[in-house]
Chain A
Amino acid sequence: MKKPKFLLLVTIIASILLCSSCVSDVDFDQAENILPTPVFEASLIFSNLEGPSFVDDVTQDEVLILTDTTRLEYINSDFFVDQLAKTELTFEFTNSIDRNFNIDLVFVTDADEQRYLAQIDVPSGQYDAPIEVTSSFLIEEPELSTFEEATKLIYRITLPASTNPIDATTLGSLKLESKATFYFEL
């Protein structure tokens, strides 16, 4: 039995040697540097307001301010707070109303405290020659952390004083399209 035992020993040692010396030219520490950086584009809000939308039903006068709000739950989600590196918000306005507007896009917390404000002035357009305005807002640290406390978006349209107010017969519309580009680091 001596010979077989010897053979066995040799084989075991050989296999241990083979296995311990068989990984070379590799650096598994690189795993620490793995960083997926996906970029997602998502639709945000949109709306299309015809001229008469800016007229008070009761008084038939032009309104001063028009506002609407939606929750955007995901901004404050753990995933966004932890993984979002930066974001770019793009708002595209098409105005075919002969009237200029001051736009506020206000990101607020549940308690309606402002966390981020995007302001855009939209000049007056013509019914047959609409004016297009595109504005982008890049939000990076340190602003980003504040932005991520927001849970709601308020779209506020202010109509500055004008000699040519909108009435029930005004033609045209104010259209908003928007998207967000999210840069993640996972």
Chain B
Amino acid sequence: MRLKITYIALLLSVLAIGQNKELLYDFNDLPQTLNQNPGALVSFDKHFGIPLLSQFHLNVGSSGISAYDIFKDDGVNINTKIRNAIFFLSKRDYFTLNQQLEVINGGWRKNETTYFSYGIYEEADIIAYFPKDLAILLWDGNADYIGQSFSLGDVSFKGEVLSVFHFGINKQVSKKLTIGARAKLYSSIANVNSTNNSGTFTTRPSTTGDNVYEHVFQFLDGKAQTSGIASLLADDNSDIKEDIKTLRKRVFLGGNLGLGVDVGFTYQPKEQHVITGSLLDLGAVFHTKDVETYHLNGSYTTEGVELVFPPLINAEGTTPYWQNLEDEFDENIKIDTLKGNYVTWRSTKFNASYRYNFGKENGEDCDCYAGKKPYQNAVGLQLFSIFRPRQPQFAATAFYYRRLFDFLRLKLTYTVDDFSYHNIGLGASFHIGSFNMYFMGNNLSELQNISRAQSVSLQFGINLIFDSDE
């Protein structure tokens, strides 16, 4: 067995925006591909990353609107632009943030057909749908909306920070098929989620005729589940060091634990045709520690304070009308704090691709793995989907992959998703001696003015590769 490559990964991602890692997926020259598909074709014998520096990754996306829409210098009053945006966006629009930091990443080849990989990474994942009705109510007030209902159902968000301990097995079952699986142990640092809310608030002309309006809170049912947050907020000492100590404990399995799995495969019916697929983060976190759930529910209608002029006529009106109104409200609209355990499902991601390889080089300067001469070109299609509270998000990518002079691998992508229909990305991976560097960015057409982009991605990484053959 010849030891071909040792990876010391020094990946410094400057900025990566865009939930979908379409440039990294099926980019078999880089070990990070294994985190996107545990059943990817592995082209190296060993890799490991420098703790905390092996990968930093940040995604921010906003469907429907960009910073440019609000902040463009066009002389229009910003409040007008914000109001226009509120009405332009729908409750299906969302803001997302996904960030990952690799603590440890490594792997080794057990034999010709089996590759093990392992690691720890920290991940923050937030999605918030645009609460349109609430936004209109807060921005405009109810005065222009007498008789119209504002729905609490528009409120839907989910946020979690967790650390992930993982171990993956990659197995070449036959010449045509490689499969892989990765077991994941989640340690939740903090979690908050509020989905499936319902109920309405309406101001309408009084139906009894007693007063001008009646305010109707109807079938309010809202829930926000939290774990790992109550203790941080309730902290009596304002010493942030204590909080950091608590958080550090949770990073290393001291939080609420969960289990998950990644699965994936590569199927190569003919040498030139490659089909891959993967399901990532098929799992759940079980929240049992430091859990607090806030539950709002009830119905209440009020027409204001009715003054009844008690029969005992004196100068002092002693009926506690206001207190009565508050009490009635509290009796009917309840906000309970519950301590019950709950389960959150991770946002499962789905990837699939078809690749057609063509154009072999006849030269002999081949550093190719598994004794095969690599194809110089590939074209293909990729699909990405992530399951989210309201509906899955989809992205479709067409790509062209090219090896140039053996030391340069390029991948050009065109992606269609919720954020844009003209997202062009470029990934370049340089392999010179023991040195590897890659650079990936999408939404290149928007880079001239990043504020126009609803999502942007720039990734940059360095690997040092030692090849025993050289």
Contacts and interface: CB of A to CB of B under 8 A. Distances in A.
A15 B13 CA distance: 11
B432 A41 contact: no
B316 to A, nearest CB: 8
Given A15-B460, A35-B79, A40-B141, 7 more contacts: A8-B462, A30-B73, A43-B206, A43-B212, A46-B303, A57-B311, A71-B323
B451 A23 contact: yes
A114 interface: no
Contacts of B213: 41-43, 179
B233 interface: no
Nearest to A35: B79
B432 A38 contact: no
B239 to A, nearest CB: 29
Interface string B449-461: 1110000001010
B215 A66 contact: no
A44 B449 contact: no
Given A42-B304, A45-B307, A70-B317, A26 B140 contact: no
Interface stretch (A48-56, A95-103, A123-131): A48-56
Q: Is the interface of B mostly helix, strand, loop or mixed?
A: mixed
Interface string B206-225: 10001111110000000000
Interface in A1-59: 1, 3-4, 7-8, 11-12, 15, 18-19, 22-28, 30-31, 33-49, 53, 56-57
Report, as a range, how many residues of chain A touch the other chain: 35 or more
A36 B315 contact: no
A70 B215 contact: no
Interface in A163-186: 176-179, 181-182, 184
A90 to B, nearest CB: 7
Contacts of A42: 203, 213, 215, 304
Interface stretch (B108-116, B252-260, B356-364, B433-441): B433-441
A26 B306 contact: no
Contacts of B67: 26
Interface string B68-90: 10111100011100100000000
Contact of B305 (A37, A45, A63): A45
A19 B78 contact: no
Interface in B411-470: 430, 432-433, 435, 437, 439, 447-451, 458, 460, 462
B371 interface: no
Contact of A47 (B79, B143, B306, B439): B306
A81 interface: no
B313 interface: yes
A37 B140 CA distance: 7
Nearest to B215: A43
Given A4-B437, A8-B462, A177-B210, A68 B142 contact: no
Contacts of B306: 45-47
B313 A178 contact: no
A60 interface: no
A159 interface: no
A34 B317 contact: no
A119 interface: no
B143 A56 contact: no
By Cβ-Cβ distance, the 7 closest A-B pairs, closest first, are: A43-B304, A69-B317, A38-B141, A71-B322, A46-B211, A39-B143, A70-B321
Contacts of B404: none
A28 B15 CA distance: 21
- Name the residue among B78, B142, B432 with the largest chain A CB count within 10 angstroms: B78
A23 B451 CA distance: 6
B173 interface: no
B230 interface: no
A16 B70 CA distance: 25
A26 B317 contact: no
Contacts of A49: 309
Interface string B91-135: 000000000000000000000000000000000000000000000
B307 A1 contact: no
Contact of B439 (A3, A11, A19, A90): A11
A92 B212 contact: yes
Contacts of A39: 140-144
A44 B304 contact: yes
B210 A40 contact: no
B240 interface: no
Interface in B192-216: 203, 206, 210-215
A59 to B, nearest CB: 11
A73 interface: yes
B148 to A, nearest CB: 12
A49 B432 CA distance: 93
A69 to B, nearest CB: 3
